[in-house]
Amino acid sequence: MEKFRMVFSGAGGQGVITAAVILAEAAVIHEGLIAVQSQSYGPEARGGATRSDIIISEHPILFPKVTQPNVLVCLTQEAYDKFSPIIRPGGLLLTDDRYVKLGKKVDAKQVELPMYQTVQDAIGNPVVFNICMLGVLIGLLGLVKAESVLAVISTRVQEKYVEMNRKALELGVSMAEPLGLG
Amino acid sequence: MEKFRMVFSGAGGQGVITAAVILAEAAVIHEGLIAVQSQSYGPEARGGATRSDIIISEHPILFPKVTQPNVLVCLTQEAYDKFSPIIRPGGLLLTDDRYVKLGKKVDAKQVELPMYQTVQDAIGNPVVFNICMLGVLIGLLGLVKAESVLAVISTRVQEKYVEMNRKALELGVSMAEPLGLG
């Protein structure tokens, strides 16, 4: 397995940090991997872009911050404008077409998907937008199994919400499949 | 302001990570401080003790992990047994008397409080136990203002739950006051 150095970015309320924590727990508890997940906040955090770093590896992780992600997710225009310059050449940049207008030249595979709209149409509740995003990453990269993510979610939400999360996760996986990067 | 290097530890479901994220956001967004908040998971994470690190400072933070916390919170026996040896000499160790039986000699101020029971008796819902714990830390250390924490909570929970969180936070602050460490 390669080492995944990821940055999830967006705005408060989009569930960026929650998605990062769930992914890290899934990797560690259910797949025997090692993970570090962090948030750094400086004066710029008052601007508005939320950023969460996750590293997943088979080996101990010495430095927990990500300087050049090979996976970058940007869920708002502000996050895209701010963080797209840091992507590692050849990395993967995932954006949502409702929130981000692409415009920068980046040396990366750019994947733009209607995650928000798909969740809204199929489930009617944008609260699981972040879980759909995790599904896309799983479908694109095979990071962890969808069942591992769902097992973590099941410990965190009331039982009546598990099915909605499962659906969002599966939507994400199925949106990624035709892209054939996995 | 001194630099606070904190470790919150407990079990999944006690809201340890959420409390750390809320505190970091309160410090940065409402108090102009700098914060880093992280989770590291290794093979030992499958054992059960959840650990979340938070550093709050007025100055840029170069290394985001905490090796020797000057503030250590242990909300389960397993977390106490595992992490109490790493406390910085002279630091503060906060435990809940329902979950942790003290027994180790540590070179620290030990504060043992009935946070869980107080929340259960006064509010009847243990879900805000973690917010009461934040209230205690605020009361003991004056880390940030209670209003700053509440402002962050207000952006994260539905309006109908804000009052319950406010009450839990105030309970924590009032439990700390007689101890006079602030």
For residue range B56-92, what is the model confidence (pLDDT) as tens digits?
999 988 888 899 999 999 999 999 999 999 999 999 9
The answer to whether the CB atoms of B41 and A28 lie below 8 A apart is yes
The pLDDT confidence band at residue B43, using thresholds 50, 70 and 90, is low
For residue range B91-108, what is the model confidence (pLDDT) as tens digits?
999 999 999 999 888 899
Provide the whole-model pTM.
Answer: 0.88
Listed as ranges, residues in chain A with pLDDT below 50 are none
The mean pLDDT of chain B is 92
The answer to whether the CB atoms of A35 and B41 lie below 8 A apart is yes
**In chain B, where the domains are located:** 4-177
User: What percent of chain B is modeled with pLDDT above 90?
Assistant: 76
Whether A21 contacts chain B with CB within 8 A: yes
d(CA B93, CA B74): 8
Class of domain A4-176: alpha beta
d(CA A21, CA A19): 6
Query: How near does any CA of chain A get to the CA of B67, in Å?
Result: 13
**Quick one: angle between helices A146-156 and A16-25, nearest 10?**
110
The answer to whether the CB atoms of B38 and A35 lie below 8 A apart is no
Residue A47 is predicted with a pLDDT of: 64
For residue range B130-163, what is the model confidence (pLDDT) as tens digits?
999 999 999 999 999 999 999 999 988 889 999 9
Whether A12 contacts chain B with CB within 8 A: yes
ipTM associated with this complex: 0.80
The answer to whether the CB atoms of B43 and A32 lie below 8 A apart is yes
The answer to whether the CB atoms of B45 and A29 lie below 8 A apart is yes
Residue B46 is predicted with a pLDDT of: 65
Whether B28 contacts chain A with CB within 8 A: yes
Residue A65 is predicted with a pLDDT of: 86
Other beta carbons within 10 angstroms of residue A47's beta carbon come to 9
Cβ(A92)–Cβ(A70) below 8 Å: yes
The answer to whether residue B55 scores a pLDDT higher than 90 is: yes
The answer to whether the CB atoms of A45 and B65 lie below 8 A apart is no
d(CA B98, CA B157): 27
Q: Which CATH number fits domain B4-177: 2.60.40.1530, 1.10.287.110, 3.30.499.10, 3.40.920.10?
A: 3.40.920.10
Q: Which of A30, A39, A125, A157 to substitute to test the interface with B, most B CBs within 10 Å?
A: A39
The answer to whether residue B27 scores a pLDDT higher than 70 is: yes
Query: How near does any CA of chain B get to the CA of A68, in Å?
Result: 17
